Amino acid sequence: MRSLQFAELCVKRDSLTRNLPEGKEELQWVSNTSTLIYGEKDAVLVDTFITVEQNQKLIDWIKSFNRNLTYIYVTHGHGDHFFGIKQIKEAFPHVKAIATEGTVKESYKQGGLIESFWDKLFPNQIPEPQVFPDVIDAISFELEGHRLEIIEAGFTDTANTTSLWIPDLELLVAGDVVYNDIHQYLAETTLSTRQEWIQTIDRLIKLNSKFVIAGHKIPENDNDPKILVETKQYLLDFNRLDKETDTALDLFHAMLKLYPNRVNPGSLWGSANAAKA
Ligand SMILES: [Zn+2]
């Protein structure tokens, strides 16, 4: 059996939270990551991008590998990770888009937010009509005989999230369970879900991954597994500073003091407001 390889594509885009206190303007962007795992003939894509233009770039990139795309695996139900399914299916008619039952359920909820949320942030740029992933009724699937294992991650940055573990590559394609130098999206979380998230990370650390690819990363960064511990520490710090502060602004500044260089402070502003609501 020939070994697998992998590659990733990152696109920078505007943040979702755009009204935030002044400062850190140069850090007000975010990126999305798509990962291609490929063998001799076939390939699997993990997550897509948001806009028509980004997803066209993704399709051109996949084509450059000259492989038969068999699956799109969607790690969780946020639109920035699956809105490209429609275009990719048009470009690769035999590909199957799959996700866990929980992720599929969440993706349909996001589909209901196109007009009220996504279209306002990215006018006329969201692929429509939406195409959703199908439920995979198994905990793993295969690429040329290699196992790709689905890890249920529970509530992390949203409900019913997952990561994909490829033992033969010692690669964890983490989705939004792990962040790489980008402020984590905690606006949907509570203290108790953040504790669940921390436990999940402890479970993922035991895999001893060689590479961990985050759904949101600074494109130039490598995929060092240390980002697991960093993601956990960020959650611990947020929980502690939430207790020590009274207002969203205080929490925002206290976190920025600890994390002055993380990209996308808008996400932190959203998190701080949700925590103090
Ligand atoms: Zn995301």
**Segments forming the whole domain that contains residue 50:** 5-276
Residue 36 amino acid letter:
L
CA-wise closest residue to 195 among 241, 243, 254, 236:
236
Helix 191-205 vs helix 226-244: angle between axes, to the nearest 10 degrees?
A: 160
Average pLDDT for residues 16-23, to the nearest whole number?
77
Q: How far is the CA of 215 from the centre of ligand 1 (A)?
A: 6
Q: How far is the CA of 270 from the centre of ligand 1 (A)?
A: 14
Give residue 1's pLDDT.
67
Give residue 81's pLDDT.
97
| Ion ligand 1, residues whose Cβ is below 5 A away | 78, 80, 176, 215
Q: How far is the CA of 63 from the centre of ligand 1 (A)?
A: 24
CA-wise closest residue to 30 among 9, 12, 52, 48:
12
Overall domain count for the chain = 1
> What pTM was computed for the model?
0.96
- Tens digit of pLDDT for each residue in 73-123? 999 999 999 999 999 999 999 999 999 999 999 999 988 888 888 888 888
Whether the CB-CB separation of 162 and 151 falls below 8 Å is answered with: yes
Whether the CB-CB separation of 21 and 268 falls below 8 Å is answered with: no
Residue 215 amino acid letter:
G
Give residue 114's pLDDT.
84
Q: How far is the CA of 216 from the centre of ligand 1 (A)?
A: 7
Domain CATH code at residue 109: 3.60.15.10
Task: Count the alpha carbons within 13 Å of 9 in the hemisphere toward its beta carbon.
Answer: 22
Whether the CB-CB separation of 152 and 204 falls below 8 Å is answered with: no
pLDDT of residue 20 exceeding 80: no
Average pLDDT for residues 174-187, to the nearest whole number?
97
Q: How far is the CA of 2 from the centre of ligand 1 (A)?
A: 32
Average pLDDT for residues 179-201, to the nearest whole number?
97
